Amino acid sequence: MSRHSKNNTANPVFTYAERKMVKDFGTQNSRVGSDSQRPFDFCYLCISRVIEPLTCEKGHLFCRECIIQNMVKQKQENEKLIAAYNQKKQQQEHKQQQQDEAQQKEKEQNFEKLDYQNDVIERRQFKSKVEEKLQGYINLEAEQKKKVLEKMQLKGKEMLTMSKKDLTCKNFWVPESQPEQQEEKLEQPKNICRCPANRDHEIKLKKLYPAKLNDNNGETKEVFCYACNKTLKYQKIGMSKHCGHVMCMSCISSICLPDKKCMVCNKDFEKKDIIQLQEAHSGFASHNQVEVKIFNPVMLI
């Protein structure tokens, strides 16, 4: 076959036919059905039916045992991070102290050296001035020599006052003039626990509220609203922080909020005490995100 055949191995890029042959090339799209979505009454950690459910202020449901174990694990990891941070901080402080001591010592040595050099230069200048006065201004050549000599003396004085680092700053091949590695800025880790369902907010054990689900004492696999007795799945669902009775938001707004009391236990609550729970996700694109993407790179040889 010719070089312009269907499978052209001499071409550095894939043809359209070759891209179709490779199934896992580039960006792959897939649609997730309702069977792959988390039901409403499932724990975010163990992905099974909640046992002794607790909810955070954002409405994520967890089993009591699961969320306590997760918080203990987060606390242990935070302690390790804090210990590592303190150790690195002590090392940096010790290193900075050594650098400060070395700089102070270098300054003292430079001061003593400069003082001695200035004394020597002043003596030489005084001697040269005396000699010049004795000799007088004989001709222009002597004056020119004097100017050149003074320039050389000033240049020598500047060279003596310059440090070794200043002298080698333009010599890039010298190992001492190579740029130093910049130290990473240490950020103190926060000793807080974050919600494992969505790590954008903090959780505390005293701010986890028990939820009471109406599942007929475990006889059915579905959860019902305490008010309208409808199955709770995809609709907006809420509960009060004080009692924890789970109902649909339409019943809460129409029945409970006007009296500001729970219709099951008659406990008082305000609108700010209502927690909107995370409802189940369906397979419809208008309800939630049902399409997932993954990118698989291919190395060309």
The predicted-structure confidence for 20-62, as pLDDT tens digits, reads as follows 666 666 677 777 666 677 788 889 898 888 889 999 999 899 9
Residue 27: inside a domain: no
Instruction: Say how far apart CA 14 and CA 26 lie, in whole Å.
Output: 11
Task: Please check whether residue 138 lies inside any domain of the structure.
Answer: yes
Q: Are residues 280 and 223 in the same domain?
A: yes
Domain presence at residue 179: no
Residues 105 and 52 in one domain: no
The secondary structure of 164-224 as a DSSP string is HHHHSTT-TTSGGGSPPPPPPPP-PPP--EE-SSSTTSEE-GGG-EE-B-BSTTTTSSS-B
Give me the CATH number covering residue 221. 3.30.40.10
Query: Are residues 160 and 202 both part of a single domain?
Result: no
Tell whether 208 is covered by a domain. yes
d(CA 36, CA 288): 13
pTM here is 0.61
User: Within this chain, do residues 207 and 291 fall inside the same structural domain, yes or no?
Assistant: yes
Residue finishing a domain among 109, 142, 173: 173
Q: In this structure, is residue 143 part of a structural domain?
A: yes
Domain with 232, as residue range(s), is: 34-70+193-296
- Relative to beta strand 274-277, strand 237-240 is antiparallel
- Domain membership of residue 159 (yes or no) is yes
pLDDT tens digits along 199-215: 888 999 888 999 988 88
- Tokens at 68, concatenated: 């306590």
Residue (of 32, 13, 62, 68) closest to 288 by Cα position: 32
Q: Is residue 245 part of a domain?
A: yes
Q: Total structural domains in the chain?
A: 2
Residues 162 and 202 grouped into a single domain: no
* 285 shares a domain with 200: yes
Residues of the chain with pLDDT under 70: 1-14, 19-26, 32-35, 114-123, 126-127, 129-145, 148-149, 152-153, 155-183, 217-218, 282-290, 292, 296-301
